[in-house]
């Protein structure tokens, strides 16, 4: 893959929760706090033999794909301190080693870990990296609790240090990517709240940082150390006048079973609709772009050491185009009284990648719930399907039988509509066919970005109408397959793709997938 990044900004990694003193000691013994770990996936080849896909690690891939440097040379902080201002390459990777000051083998500091201190030291590191590289801002990449350290800095540390300016963090941070961060805290599906109360009261191993009172204190400017969470406060909501939520990407894990193998108690307490530690509904910021992938919180199939994670990461950090797809103008059959529950499964694939970038399914306990309008004459609410980022600089495959590069980027959206019945408020399986879709199809979308700066062109087709393999379909520019821009605003492009006849019989005659394409602000050269 060629460079997608254009201008580059320094990347700072922020790791997650390590637990008590022994866990902190183990964390600081790792020179890269775990972000150097890769993984191996297995799939079956044409002879039914296992074939391996190796993922090197997010650190190594940034170095391979984007020319980043990992500048340690014995001591990362010492290296930074010894260099003159503006002399270090901005395309560099740094690890926020905030646990070092709390490790028993490195310090005599009697104070336990403090998320506020970790946030302050992150701010100090950002200012140092900016000064030494001359970069205007940095990228932050965080796993688990590391995302809360980042948010504490964005929402409290920096505003408190800049005369209360709620959006001051935008001067220092460009984009934030979080893996499996408990943005809404960590809740338990068992114990009826008693486990959370015990955790927050005792603060065992510092785990009270995942409870509402502590979260309110370190996420709220000027909040005192004894403040209690006010009624209605939502940890997943960023302040409207603060760091923009659309500059944060949340990668959400949906595989609880693999993490259970290592930490079964945590997984059982949290519940199945989680990554084994963080519940799906607590793993993202409201209004922020996000993707769901079938990965666990950590471990062999962990979300950080995954191809899915890296592909979402590089597209969000370096992509210059944003694409959103929604299901619009839907009208479900029947009435509210028939007790039918409608669910949609969606999966996004991009040509050239060995993994699915986003997946919501009933098997992973995270389908898209389609709700009926409150009244019969109310307009149907659009159903978000996917929000992703692309780069117009990405390498394209060559056309079959020639050396000519294909000019379009191809994306495939798999959709499956399922229904369940309820009887007396409970799901009824009397007429149910498990995992059988009422409708399913695959939408193939090709997008072309002309080099002359003119608006993008796009073509779309439903797989059910093709008489060939998807990979062999070539858009015919002379036919009406090309999508028309229905948005007159400059800087954006919008197209409606009508659902196939079989889907419209279930979802309404006007039901369509709406695809919106817009540019993003360029990174510094």
Rounded CA-CA distance 307/57 in Å is 8
Say yes or no to pLDDT of 130 above 50. Answer: yes
Above pLDDT 90, what percent of the chain?
60
Confidence of residue 131 (pLDDT cuts 50, 70, 90): very high
Render pLDDT for 205-240 as a digit per residue (tens, 0 to 9): 788 999 999 999 999 998 988 888 999 999 999 999
Number of residues written out for the chain: 525
Task: Report H helices in 191-348.
Answer: 194-202, 212-219, 256-262, 264-270, 307-318
Say yes or no to pLDDT of 264 above 60. Answer: no
pLDDT of residue 268: 66
Query: Which of 73-82, 255-264, 348-357, 421-430 shows the lowest per-residue confidence on average (mean pLDDT)?
Result: 255-264
Angle at 378 between CA 374 and CA 382, to 5 degrees: 90
Residue with tokens 């072309």: 448
Confidence of residue 13 (pLDDT cuts 50, 70, 90): very high
Q: Mapping DSSP to helix (H, G, I), strand (E, B) and coil, where does residue 346 land?
A: strand
Q: Where are the domains of the chain?
A: 11-308, 323-519
Say yes or no to pLDDT of 262 above 50. Answer: no
Render pLDDT for 443-468 as a digit per residue (tens, 0 to 9): 999 998 887 777 788 999 999 999 89
Query: Which of 8-17, 449-458, 497-506 shows the lowest per-residue confidence on average (mean pLDDT)?
Result: 449-458
Rounded CA-CA distance 443/485 in Å is 18
Q: Mapping DSSP to helix (H, G, I), strand (E, B) and coil, where does residue 288 land?
A: coil
Q: How many H helices and E strands in the chain?
A: 12, 20
DSSP label of 395: P
pLDDT of residue 400: 64
- Contact residues for 498 (Cβ-Cβ < 8 A; gap 6+): 504, 511, 512
- Per-residue tokens: 63: 């170095």
Confidence of residue 106 (pLDDT cuts 50, 70, 90): confident
Rounded CA-CA distance 310/177 in Å is 10
Render pLDDT for 401-415 as a digit per residue (tens, 0 to 9): 666 678 888 999 999
- Sign of the Cα torsion 304, 308, 314, 317 reads negative
- Residue with the larger pLDDT of the pair 282 and 402: 282
- What value does the mean pLDDT of the chain take? 88
Confidence of residue 261 (pLDDT cuts 50, 70, 90): very low
Q: DSSP of 445-502, one letter per residue?
A: EEEE--TT-PPPEEEEEEGGG-SS-GGG----TTSTTBPPP---STTEEEEEEEPPHH
Angle at 393 between CA 390 and CA 398, to 5 degrees: 100
Say yes or no to pLDDT of 189 above 90. Answer: no
pLDDT of residue 47: 85
DSSP label of 377: T
Render pLDDT for 34-78 as a digit per residue (tens, 0 to 9): 999 998 877 777 888 888 889 999 999 999 999 999 999 999 999
- Contact residues for 105 (Cβ-Cβ < 8 A; gap 6+): 25, 28
User: Rounded to two decimals, what is the model's pTM?
Assistant: 0.93
DSSP element (H, E) containing 152: helix 145-152
CB–CB of 343/369 below 8 Å?
yes
Pairing of strands 248-253, 173-179: parallel
DSSP label of 164: T
pLDDT of residue 376: 64
Render pLDDT for 336-385 as a digit per residue (tens, 0 to 9): 667 888 999 999 999 988 899 999 999 999 999 998 876 666 677 899 99
- DSSP 3-state helix, strand, coil percentages of the chain (rounded to 5)? 25, 25, 45
CA neighbor of 217 nearest in space, from 173, 151, 126: 151
pLDDT of residue 7: 63
Query: Which of 43-52, 326-335, 372-381, 506-515 shows the lowest per-residue confidence on average (mean pLDDT)?
Result: 372-381
Confidence of residue 191 (pLDDT cuts 50, 70, 90): low
Angle at 27 between CA 21 and CA 29, to 5 degrees: 105
pLDDT of residue 267: 55
Say yes or no to pLDDT of 188 above 50. Answer: yes
CA neighbor of 181 nearest in space, from 211, 206, 157, 150: 150
Give strand pairing partners of 40.
54
Domain 11-308 = CATH 1.20.120: no
Q: Mapping DSSP to helix (H, G, I), strand (E, B) and coil, where does residue 336 land?
A: helix
Above pLDDT 70, what percent of the chain?
90
């Amino acid at each position: 893959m060629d460079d997608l990044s254009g201008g580059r900004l320094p990347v700072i990694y922020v790791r997650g929760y390590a637990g008590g003193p022994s866990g902190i000691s183990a964390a600081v013994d790792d020179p890269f706090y775990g972000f150097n770990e890769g993984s191996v996936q297995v799939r079956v080849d044409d002879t039914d033999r296992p074939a391996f896909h190796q993922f090197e690690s997010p650190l190594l891939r940034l170095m391979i794909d984007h020319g980043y440097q990992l500048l340690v040379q014995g001591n990362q902080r010492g290296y930074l301190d010894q260099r003159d201002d503006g002399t270090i390459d901005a395309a560099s990777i740094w690890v926020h080693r905030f646990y070092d000051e709390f490790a028993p083998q490195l310090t005599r500091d009697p104070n336990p870990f403090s998320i506020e201190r970790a946030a302050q030291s992150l701010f100090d590191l950002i200012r140092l990296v900016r000064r030494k590289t001359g970069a205007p801002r940095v990228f932050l990449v965080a796993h688990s609790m590391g995302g809360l350290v980042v948010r504490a800095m964005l929402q409290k540390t920096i505003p408190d240090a800049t005369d209360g300016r709620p959006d001051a963090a935008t001067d220092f941070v460009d984009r934030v990517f979080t893996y499996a961060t408990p943005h809404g805290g960590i809740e338990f599906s068992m114990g009826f709240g008693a486990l959370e109360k015990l955790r927050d009261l005792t603060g065992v191993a510092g785990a009270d940082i995942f409870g509402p009172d502590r979260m309110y204190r370190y996420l709220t400017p000027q909040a005192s150390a004894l403040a209690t969470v006010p009624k209605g406060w939502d940890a997943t909501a960023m302040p409207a006048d603060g760091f923009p939520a659309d500059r944060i990407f949340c990668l959400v894990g949906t595989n609880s079973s693999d993490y259970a193998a290592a930490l079964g108690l945590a997984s059982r307490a949290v519940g199945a609709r989680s990554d084994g530690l963080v519940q799906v509904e607590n793993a993202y910021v409201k209004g922020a772009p996000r993707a769901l992938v079938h990965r666990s919180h950590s471990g062999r199939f962990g979300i950080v050491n995954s191809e899915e994670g890296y592909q979402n990461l590089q597209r969000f950090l370096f992509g210059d185009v944003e694409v959103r797809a929604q299901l619009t103008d839907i009208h479900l059959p029947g009435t509210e009284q028939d007790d039918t529950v409608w669910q949609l499964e969606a999966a996004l694939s991009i040509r050239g990648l060995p993994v699915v970038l986003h997946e919501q399914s009933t098997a992973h306990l995270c389908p898209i719930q389609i709700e009926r309008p409150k009244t019969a004459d109310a307009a149907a609410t659009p159903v978000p399907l996917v929000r992703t980022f692309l780069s117009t600089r990405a390498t394209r495959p060559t056309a079959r039988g020639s050396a000519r590069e294909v000019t379009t980027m191809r994306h495939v959206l798999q959709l499956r509509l399922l229904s369940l019945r309820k009887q007396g408020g409970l799901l009824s399986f009397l007429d149910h066919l498990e995992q059988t879709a009422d409708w399913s199809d695959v939408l193939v979308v090709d997008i072309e970005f002309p080099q002359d700066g003119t608006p993008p062109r796009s073509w779309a087709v439903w797989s059910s109408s093709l008489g060939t393999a998807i990979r062999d379909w070539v858009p015919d520019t002379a036919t009406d397959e090309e999508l028309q821009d229905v948005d007159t605003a400059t800087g954006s492009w919008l197209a409606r793709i009508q659902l196939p006849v079989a889907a419209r019989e279930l979802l309404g005659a006007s039901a369509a997938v709406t695809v919106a394409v817009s540019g993003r602000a360029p990174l510094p050269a």
